[in-house]
A and B are shown apart, each in its own frame.
Chain A
């Protein structure tokens, strides 16, 4: 686009009082760019003024020096224009008070001794804004080559069926894929189930038959039983899916990345790319490469993962005291099956089991945790099973020994109704042993609510086994992605295909794939049905977003996507490896192939690329680098004691809003800091740090969000990657005879705004203690 520049500066909210507007206006004036000031730019008149210039075709690249871009977003919205909001209010005049940094007296101006650090910051910011609008462009939406609105549901249990019905009701075509030869999953084994609706009191017949029946009402749902997914290739909006019979081996089975131990030679040295590739081919012999698309594959827009769970295996010393090898000590799953077949009988001799003990926690006195992967499900299951005993035998007795009865929320009603049954005994307790004594089992427990130690003679003992997500054993989704076929980092979640975000429960590291049900967390039927609806919404939303050529969460609506200048690519693969979302696949040479519909637009690839060949329409190495170069770095030629210049590259999601809050609370910090928000610290390219130091800036601070297993990064690894990059830059600094301490990495959560002023000011002081950057003035 042929850019016509204009700068508009608001003098309201203290900006005009603190700053020398005449001097500030000179900044664009010197560049021959028209600058207009207004006392109330966000008011009707101010906005009209800009709009008129836009309408008159005078400007289309606009710099607005006013408040933070986080406010008045809807006011300064001029269609068809490139806009940069320069944060003069929250970023300059509010956090740097005239009490601390007084205005210069007339005779102090240009005396080579005095300077006005607030004015300097404002002038730099305007310059930075001007160069930025020069460097960025209006994005155009990305269009996929082919497009499908169909939704694939993996798993035909209650979650999968519910998701399919919900998506279908919204008008979407759905295919359910089920490994078994019939739908229904675990529920088909069940005699009854816990309540799913008001008043949550009684057990009810399972709802699965009804649900399967309901499927027939929807002509846009296709069911493929006895089928599994060999691979899912491509990207949201155009996933190419190959199906196969379970257990079959076909060329479209997805290749797996080499296990780590195969990436090194016998001596432990890393193999070169060529050797690695040869090994990879050998390892995946007979499988087509991820980049080749199955011509007979079916096209889908998004995927819902509802593959469910399997039983946990109870074996080993940990459970020895529970008599796990005794024939009449069984799991809740085995109990359900026995009950499903008719009256409850013992496995050992088929005798009626009238006295049944349900054990909820295996840890004796030492540990009050439930069995692994129980969640709050097995408490309810035990209550239900106790009810079975009572249904089958008038004189039956059920004992539930628990550490914590977990019936959260309205499930408490079910617990209360079970308590009314005088044949069901509930007590807290630690089961210390289960032994065979003649025809019976003896259960010992202590620390019970009944005061004494318990010694119960039982016909059968039932252990509350947990529900292990199938993703523990198998990637299930079989993605033809260079980073591998499964979700990444599931180990943080104990193998669940879960999200790490409390606010955003469906976000995974794989765009267009949404997990629901017990594969995400141990869930009851009620919870699974509800969860399925949410996952269906996310799948639909992803399809619609791809259709519009925009990103999904968290940069929802962003139309930019990474653009590669391939002529300069050195095939180093860093972008492919570091992308948190597996959006990049590389070919046999290592040249990346971008899948924009998988991309969440964090810019991690841009930060990773040593050749600096990746850019977005409105965000690039140059757009940030030029802003850094626009910062004025005064030297001894200018002032006797020139002020220091510190660059702060901050995460726009946490640290930047926190800095705005510092401004809003009018807390002072050093005005020598120049802040540039970046999309995510993952997009931090070290060239920016080098450029800043090479032009004489004295220090660089990089501020991101909290990392670690409980990471807060909306793009998963931003802070972590940035810290590694900052550490690595140390060597480069020492070769320039610069101290490593000039570059600092810090973590700040958005609510720690109160810590930021001290953090920044003390960094400035530490840099000052090192002395000025020797490159200053060159």
Chain B
């Protein structure tokens, strides 16, 4: 005997950010039976994880979970997705918010079939953000292989000549350069901020030479280099001469646990570097990998086991010490690094083919503060006030966390949002 047909839907939940946390909050709420508006500022959902080749410690592709999540959205009419959309203003109180969102023109309408004819004829190129600027892409592009929505984007920097060409190439009249920025207003009962994080700008860590020496890259760049849809089609080659690296060093806590940069621990970088060591090992059976760390934060059984496995690799060296200085060997482009081995107390000098900076996460809310009545901690993470309710932060908007923890948190925030609606 089924008693009633649907959950009591006392209002609408808005989720800001369509990365893994926002997707989780949105889908989990909608599957209880609530109406959800999912607002994403990029042209596709997926966020930071869509740039990752694999997750630690399972070494499984994030695409796998995204595919299931996208399917859950497709099967659920209660979720409305807005891409290229940003929250401009929030007014009101728990249970009764008015939210203004701004939609940046995509210059492509819903008629787009993602056939790709525009991309074929477009000659203008733009820096490819998906690959962190390591290569270029056409100014008419599909954000990635499983982009959701599956719809092209026309960059506003496309040359006039190309604009005409792409319009002509589109058989479906889907391209519209007259599209204007749009403002929309919604009444919602609760808002979950899942605005995520940005890799800490490595240029700011002046002693680590990023931006000065080509063969110093960041961990996120390595992620893209290792991905089959990355700038090198998955081959990890060092930038200066596309050479396969024989010796690679990782500098952990590049910016994190450092009062001059990010005072907190970024949670993921230790495990990420261990994962990156597996990428390198997969391609270079004999490469030597040096990991300079303060503590290896392999928290919990699964992570400890992963670390244990890597310790068995004779060519992965763990050195407790912080990289302090770097310079470039001009003739080779190799990196000379100096670190203090905190155990022996001696200075370690090393010449490596490539240095990877394990940069941490900076909350996007600290870079682009939401225009809403929220509390922030001194690092810019959004502090949850469960007593007040109404608005909550999920995932890395709230604290540095790995994907598992983010999703745990994001699932919980779906309930907090629902409580706000039920309680009224």
Contact = CB atoms under 8 A, between A and B. Distances in A.
B2 A503 contact: no
Contact of A404 (B64, B67, B267, B295): B295
A750 B150 contact: no
Nearest to B68: A554
A466 B200 CA distance: 34
Contact of B113 (A42, A544, A552, A558): A42
Nearest to A450: B345
A545 B32 CA distance: 7
A71 to B, nearest CB: 5
B1 A537 contact: no
A484 interface: no
Contacts of B60: 502, 706, 710, 712, 749
Interface stretch (B154-162, B325-333, B405-413): B405-413
B374 interface: no
Interface string B1-27: 111111110000000000010001001
B296 A404 contact: yes
B65 interface: yes
Nearest to A550: B31
Contacts of A375: 299-301
Which of A146, A502, A556 has the most CB atoms of chain B within a 10 A radius of its CB? A502
A657 B263 CA distance: 42
B383 interface: yes
Given A369-B308, A750-B63, A428 B172 contact: no
A751 B68 contact: no
A39 B173 CA distance: 13
Interface stretch (B69-77, B84-92, B98-106, B122-130): B69-77
Contacts of B33: 544, 548
Interface in A711-755: 712, 714, 749-754
- Counting chain B CB atoms within 10 Å of each CB, the highest count among A14, A408, A506, A753 belongs to A408
Contacts of B111: 40, 43
A404 B415 contact: no
Interface string A524-554: 0001001111101110110011011100111
Interface in B40-82: 53, 55, 58-69, 71-72, 74-77
A557 B267 contact: no
A408 B297 contact: yes
A505 B20 contact: no
B53 A503 contact: no
Contact of A40 (B6, B27, B172): B172
Contacts of A544: 6-7, 31-33
B75 A504 contact: no
Contacts of A278: none
Given A71-B150, A552-B31, A169 B423 contact: yes
B261 interface: no
Interface stretch (B132-140, B180-188, B243-251, B396-404): B396-404
Contacts of B405: 527
Contacts of B412: 166, 530-534, 536-537
Interface of B: 1-8, 20, 24, 27-28, 31-33, 53, 55, 58-69, 71-72, 74-77, 111, 113-116, 142, 145-146, 150, 171-172, 227-228, 234, 257, 263-267, 295-302, 304, 307-308, 320, 342-343, 345, 377-378, 381, 383, 399-401, 403-405, 407-416, 418-419, 422-423
B422 A171 contact: yes
Candidate in B116, B263, B297, B415 with the most chain A CB atoms within 10 angstroms: B415
A405 interface: yes
Contacts of B4: 547
A12 B172 contact: yes
B286 to A, nearest CB: 24
A408 B267 contact: yes
Contacts, number: 259
Contacts of A533: 411-413, 415-416
A410 interface: yes
B68 A503 contact: yes
A503 B65 contact: yes
Contact of A409 (B65, B113, B267, B413): B267
Chain A interface residue count: which class? 35 or more
Residue among B59, B299, B307 with max Cβ neighbours from chain A (10 Å): B299
A37 B92 CA distance: 51
Interface of A: 12-14, 39-40, 42-43, 67, 70-74, 141, 143-147, 166, 169-171, 197-199, 368-370, 372-373, 375-376, 402, 404-413, 416, 428, 447-449, 451, 493-494, 496, 500-506, 521-522, 527, 530-534, 536-538, 540-541, 544-545, 547-549, 552-554, 556-558, 653-654, 657, 661, 664-665, 705-706, 710, 712, 714, 749-754
A91 B297 CA distance: 45
B422 A170 contact: yes
Given A12-B171, A505-B404, A531-B412, A144 B300 contact: no
10 contacts: A12-B171, A70-B71, A141-B2, A171-B8, A171-B422, A199-B377, A375-B301, A408-B267, A538-B28, A558-B75
B1 A145 contact: yes
A198 B53 CA distance: 33
B7 to A, nearest CB: 5
B146 A537 contact: no
Given A197-B383, A540-B32, 7 more contacts: A40-B113, A369-B307, A409-B399, A428-B342, A505-B408, A544-B32, A552-B31
A42 B142 CA distance: 18
B48 to A, nearest CB: 13
Given A409-B401, A556-B31, A657-B146, A451 B345 contact: yes
Contacts of A370: 304
